[in-house]
Structures are given as structure tokens and as C-alpha cells.
């Protein structure tokens, strides 16, 4: 049977897209290809091969880490006696989650911030397992616990977040010295999460200024006053969710046009990229030259732990591999969706992320 030319071309295009996506996710295989071989279509020939992962070193800063305790309670009821079906505890906090995701993709990662010395063992074992360099400053007390009650029958998740431990001025100075030392060897710095009690809300802005003076690339994922004050320091990229952006701007962003305009206002402050996550509606990726809306497919959500952090990790991965904004939006969204399908802050196998990446719809907007 002879396949029509149009059918052959469509089949070849589909295979080409699969090969391209595969090598975006498996960069070490790309380097093994002979020079005359290309997985890219003629339209994508300008896409550069990803740099060696050993060349780029990344530090994440988590000022308020947490132990994420997930408790499964079928038909959970407030004000009643509930029985736990199973429980799982994971070292977490936004920057710890980002570090974990990036380490899974082969990057050289260091972590720092404040860690309670009385229950640090779970973090230490985790960092050893993931081959993550531990540069956390130990402070007195226990690292907080965040409890997620998962009701798999009602498909509901209830969050109970404890306050973090208190750091004092000497702890802050120890952290600054540690970050200065890390800046001698690390290229990208990701500042993530809330600010614990006793820490000035301007600390992110001051760290961004300090790192930019050393020609470091800084990504910020924060909220509230610490986010508002850090905007003026103009990090390379910010990733608020829609509610965090509305809070900082003091306005409702109920249309795509309003979200885009709000992001562009941040670009005018000197920020290079603004990523706004919008839950089921997807995520908006905004730069001066392009605006991309990524829409996710429908999936079964098992846990919301680390979904936004996975998007940050996917975004950084895309930037380090030189992907255009459309492909970067697709990859970052696939990372986030992958985290939603797992219990605790972890990603599914890379093949699953590659499959999800193909299902993300992207649209260029103006």
C-alpha cells in the first residue's frame, strides 16, 4: 500500500517533534550525536544544543524551609475524629523543592538558608541522597512542619502551615557570608519562599543587589512585602502566582490582557522575564519581545506540594538550554504538571514529563 505524500510528511513531522522534545529533556544524549546528525527540524535549526550541565552551577536560597507532612484521610471532616490511611514526610520549602527537581535533571546544586538544628536530619539525608551541597545555616529550634491532609475520596486537599523558627542578626550575617562564598563558584541563584519571623522583608532585595553586583543571575519566587520590595532590585525573573501578583499590585487581574499589562509593568522595572501561574488556566510567560500563554491538559491532581517550585525549575532548565519562550513555557508547565501527579515534592520519570510536554498547548499573544 502506498502512503500519500501528505500522510508521509505528517508522520515524519510527528516523529521529528518527538525527537526534538526527547533531546530537550535528555541533553547528555545530544552531546553524543555526531556533528552531521540533527534532531531538529529545518524550522528549529537555530535552536542551540544545551550547554554541558557541569558548566552551570545553581544555588537555591530557602529562608523558611519546612518538613512537608502529607496525611491521607478518606472522607476527612473538620470537628470530627479522623483516621489516617497513610502518612509521608518530605524535606521541603520552596527552594529545597526547586533544588530537588534540578538535581534530578543533573545540575550541580547547592542549598542555603536557615535550618532548625533540632530536626535537620531529614534534610541532611535528603541532600546526601540527591548529591546536593548543603550550605544551610543552622539556627536553634526546629524547622517548621507543613501538613497537607489529602482526601482521595472527595478529591480535596487541606493545608495546615506552622510558623517558621526565628533567626537573629548574627544568623543573617552568617547567611550573607555563606552566599558570598557560594557566589565565587555558582552562577544562578534562586530565592524562594516566605520570610520567617525576625527577618526584614527587604532581605530579598538586598540579596538581589548583592548578587547582581557579582554578575549573578537571580530568579525570585516570593510574595507579599518581600516580593514588592524585591521588584525594585530587578531580578532576572520573577514567578508570582496570580493571587500573589494581585496582592502586590492591589488590583484584580481577571483578564488575560490585564495579566499581560501587569507583567509588562514589571518588565519596565528591569526584570527580564515574568512568569505568572494561574492554576487551571495555565501560566503566562512574558518578555519584552514575546508573550506566551501555556495551557495545561486535564490531569488527576494527587498533591499540590511543589507545583509552583517545579515550574521555576522547568523555567530555569529551559533558559539554561537556550530554548525559545514557547518551548520553555511548555517545558516549565510540564514540570509543574508532573509535580501535581506525585505525593510530596518530586517529579515523575523524565519520560512522563516528555509525554506531558507534548500535551501542553502554547499560544503566542501580543
How high is the pLDDT of residue 286? 98
Under 8 Å CB-to-CB from 173, ≥6 apart: which residues? none
- Is residue 99, in this structure, part of any structural domain at all? yes
- Is residue 319, in this structure, part of any structural domain at all? yes
How high is the pLDDT of residue 280? 87
Range of the domain at 165: 54-365
- Is residue 20, in this structure, part of any structural domain at all? no
Under 8 Å CB-to-CB from 247, ≥6 apart: which residues? 223, 224
Kindly report the pTM of this predicted structure: 0.82
- Is residue 154, in this structure, part of any structural domain at all? yes
Under 8 Å CB-to-CB from 208, ≥6 apart: which residues? 191, 218, 220, 230, 233, 234, 235
Total tally of structural domains belonging to the chain? 1
For residues 72 and 84, the answer to whether their CB atoms sit within 8 Å is yes
Report, as ranges of residue numbers, the positions in the chain whose pLDDT lies below 50. 1-23, 26-54
pLDDT tens across 33-44, in order?
333 333 333 333
Q: Which helix (H) or strand (E) holds 217?
A: strand 217-221
How high is the pLDDT of residue 50? 47
Apex CA 270: angle with CA 263 and CA 256, to 5°?
A: 10
Q: Which helix (H) or strand (E) holds 6?
A: helix 5-25
Lookup: cell for 124: 541532611
Q: Is the dihedral of CA 43, 359, 349, 309 positive or negative?
A: positive
Active site residue 309: yes
Reference 321, options 62, 23, 66, 33; nearest CA is 23
- Is residue 37, in this structure, part of any structural domain at all? no
Among residues 151, 221, 309, 327, the one annotated as catalytic is: 309
- For residue 356, count other CB atoms closer than 10 A to its CB: 23
- The DSSP symbol for 280 reads G
Count of alpha carbons within 13 Å of 150, Cβ hemisphere only?
A: 21
How high is the pLDDT of residue 257? 96
How high is the pLDDT of residue 353? 86
- Is residue 201, in this structure, part of any structural domain at all? yes
- Is residue 109, in this structure, part of any structural domain at all? yes
CATH assignment of the domain containing 157: 3.40.1190.20
- Is residue 205, in this structure, part of any structural domain at all? yes
Under 8 Å CB-to-CB from 51, ≥6 apart: which residues? 320, 321, 322
Amino acid at each position: 500500500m502506498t502512503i500519500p505524500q501528505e500522510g508521509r510528511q505528517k508522520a515524519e513531522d510527528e516523529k521529528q517533534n518527538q525527537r526534538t522534545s526527547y533531546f530537550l529533556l535528555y541533553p547528555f544524549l545530544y552531546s553524543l550525536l555526531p556533528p552531521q546528525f540533527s534532531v531538529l527540524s529545518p524550522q528549529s535549526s537555530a535552536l542551540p544544543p544545551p550547554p554541558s550541565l557541569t558548566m552551570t552551577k545553581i544555588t537555591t536560597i530557602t529562608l523558611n524551609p519546612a518538613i512537608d507532612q502529607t496525611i491521607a484521610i478518606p472522607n476527612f471532616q473538620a470537628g470530627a475524629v479522623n483516621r489516617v490511611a497513610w502518612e509521608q514526610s518530605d524535606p521541603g520549602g520552596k527552594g529545597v523543592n526547586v533544588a530537588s527537581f534540578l538535581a534530578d535533571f543533573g545540575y550541580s546544586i547547592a542549598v542555603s538558608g536557615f535550618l532548625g538544628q533540632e530536626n535537620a536530619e531529614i534534610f541532611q539525608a535528603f541532600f546526601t541522597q540527591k548529591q546536593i551541597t548543603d550550605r544551610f545555616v543552622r539556627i536553634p529550634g526546629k524547622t517548621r512542619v507543613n501538613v497537607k491532609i489529602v482526601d482521595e475520596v472527595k478529591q480535596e486537599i487541606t493545608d495546615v502551615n506552622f510558623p517558621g523558627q526565628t533567626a537573629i542578626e548574627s544568623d543573617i550575617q552568617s547567611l550573607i557570608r555563606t552566599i558570598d562564598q557560594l557566589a565565587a563558584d555558582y552562577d544562578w541563584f534562586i530565592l524562594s519562599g516566605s520570610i520567617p519571623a525576625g527577618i526584614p522583608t527587604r532581605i530579598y532585595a538586598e540579596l538581589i543587589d548583592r548578587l547582581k553586583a557579582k554578575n549573578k543571575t537571580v530568579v525570585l519566587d516570593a510574595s507579599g512585602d518581600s516580593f514588592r520590595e524585591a521588584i525594585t532590585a530587578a531580578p532576572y525573573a520573577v514567578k508570582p502566582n496570580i493571587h500573589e501578583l494581585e496582592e502586590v499590585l492591589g488590583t484584580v487581574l481577571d483578564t488575560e490582557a490585564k495579566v499581560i499589562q501587569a507583567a509588562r509593568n514589571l518588565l519596565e522595572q528591569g526584570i527580564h522575564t515574568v512568569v505568572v501561574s494561574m492554576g487551571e488556566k495555565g501560566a503566562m510567560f512574558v518578555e519584552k519581545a514575546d508573550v506566551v500563554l501555556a495551557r495545561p491538559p486535564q490531569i488527576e491532581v494527587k498533591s499540590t506540594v511543589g507545583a509552583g517550585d517545579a515550574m521555576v525549575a522547568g523555567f530555569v532548565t529551559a533558559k539554561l538550554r537556550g530554548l525559545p519562550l514557547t518551548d520553555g513555557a511548555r517545558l516549565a508547565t510540564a514540570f509543574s504538571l508532573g509535580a501535581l501527579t506525585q505525593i510530596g515534592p518530586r517529579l515523575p520519570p523524565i519520560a512522563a514529563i516528555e509525554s506531558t510536554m507534548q500535551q501542553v498547548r502554547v499560544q503566542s499573544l501580543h
